[in-house]
Amino acid sequence: MSENAEIRYQGQSWEFPVVVGTENEKGIDIQKLRDRTGLVTLDNGYQNTGSTKSAITFIDGDKGILRYRGYPIEELAQKATFPETAYLLIYGELPTAEQLRIFRQRLTENSMIHEDMLHFLTGMPPSAHPMGILSSMVNALALFYPRFYVEDMDAATFDQMAVSLISKVRTIAAFSYKKSIGEPFVYPRADKTYCANFLNMMFDSHAKPYSEDPLFIEALNALLIVHADHEQNCSTSTVRLVGSSYANLYASICAGICALWGPLHGGANQKAMETLSMIQKNGWTAEQVIAKAKDKKDLFLLHGFGHRVYKSYDPRAKVLKNLVERVFSTKNIQDPLLNIALELEQLALKDEYFIERKLYPNVDFYSGILYRAMGIPEDMFTVMFAIGRMPGWIAHWKEMHDEGNLKIGRPRQIYTGPTVRSFVPKEERV
């Protein structure tokens, strides 16, 4: 059912089609707005602007719903594996047993990085942030692996790029950790699953062999699944925008990693953990922290709280909070930072400021607690987010190129600078 929206301005009126999605979301199609009216729209932070139609992920922020290709995140986190979810996001359907076997085999076969890439890694300073390493190394993948321009890209080349990125991102991440602690790199193994391979590359060493921990493997699997996609968030929109210029997939993903690094986005998981540690170190009470978060004169932000789309509890935060409780009780882990987080949440959810602004815990509030329990260091938390988000970024890049009528992303603006004026020689400038 197509409806129209009417815009009236200075005595004229125009009708524009309204696009209705499969979940009954509605958007005014303004592609002809400027041609017909001379007007553009202005929308700081794109809070009301849809950049595309997409069939990958659906979010209902008011009801706290998140589905990948129609499957609820709660079910996938409990019943699927991360490779299965990656396949679903990229190709649109859950893989058959045979498709999954082949996909997993290709992930295993593509887990190594070119030995010459290690020169980049070893040349970086020991204190290099793992997100800076990851973005540099992912961009370098385009130098070592099939060089292609998007116009020449066929399905087989795309498939190769996709498994290469999803698999190698683990290896790069684990190698950056080993480098930071001065230990030799542990290479991926063909006999380990996706998550088990990553944890082994991170924590195995000759001095202290790492034995697989099924509960941590299960927890990591769920963590990566809940991070795998989130429709048109900042980093995914970045991947699409860079990809719209026909930049190659590695360059587009590198840009997405850089966008994710920001503390208002994926960097929030590291900041949230740093906040909890600061609260513990300074002996602040939860009341003092909530007061700081509400104080406009105080630059303090309660990272891990609030969301552009979720105006109710982030369903991913619910999954992770339950997972924390299960892992901690099974392993009898005591972590004072978890108690601080639970107390903060309890207070915030009863506080008028948070209620009025619909600020709830988001995916970044509890994820760090789990990573920390696994022994993953804080500066690797956003790298973990990137490992999870990789299939989502790839899926959106593919969807954009598959659509066919790809337009380079080029927003308009309203100019507010000086009107025309003539050049003044420096001698005459005051």
Binding site for ligand SDX (CB under 6 A): 45, 230, 233, 264-266, 268, 293, 301-309, 357, 359, 362-364
Is the torsion defined by CA of 258, 263, 269, 274 positive or negative? positive
Specify the residue, 14 or 71, whose C-beta has the smaller distance to ligand SDX.
71
Non-local CB neighbours of 396 within 8 Å, separated by 6+ positions: 54, 56, 229, 236, 239, 240
Specify the residue, 81 or 235, whose C-beta has the smaller distance to ligand SDX.
235
Specify the residue, 90 or 226, whose C-beta has the smaller distance to ligand SDX.
226
Specify the residue, 188 or 266, whose C-beta has the smaller distance to ligand SDX.
266
> What's the closest the beta carbon of residue 51 comes to ligand SDX, in angstroms?
13
Task: Quickly count: other Cβ atoms within 10 Å of residue 393's Cβ.
Answer: 28
* Alpha-helical runs (H) found in 51-96: 73-79, 82-91
Specify the residue, 247 or 359, whose C-beta has the smaller distance to ligand SDX.
359
> What's the closest the beta carbon of residue 363 comes to ligand SDX, in angstroms?
6
Both tokens assigned to 323: 């997972």
Q: Which residue is nearest to ligand SDX (CB)?
A: 306
CA distance 380 to 376: 7
CA distance 162 to 168: 10
Residue type, 218: E
Residue closest to 123 by CA, chosen among 114, 112, 133: 133
> What's the closest the beta carbon of residue 309 comes to ligand SDX, in angstroms?
6
Contact 160, 146 (CB under 8 A): yes
> What's the closest the beta carbon of residue 237 comes to ligand SDX, in angstroms?
9
Q: To which residue do tokens 């540690």 refer?
A: 277
Task: Quickly count: other Cβ atoms within 10 Å of residue 217's Cβ.
Answer: 19
CA distance 269 to 382: 7
> What's the closest the beta carbon of residue 75 comes to ligand SDX, in angstroms?
18
Specify the residue, 143 or 264, whose C-beta has the smaller distance to ligand SDX.
264
Residue type, 132: G
364 as an active site residue: the answer is: yes
Determine phi and psi for 67, rounding to 5 degrees.
-135, 135
Please pick, among 129, 227, 307, 396, the residue that the annotation labels catalytic: 307
Please pick, among 204, 229, 314, 364, the residue that the annotation labels catalytic: 364
> What's the closest the beta carbon of residue 56 comes to ligand SDX, in angstroms?
13
Residues annotated catalytic, as ranges: 307, 364
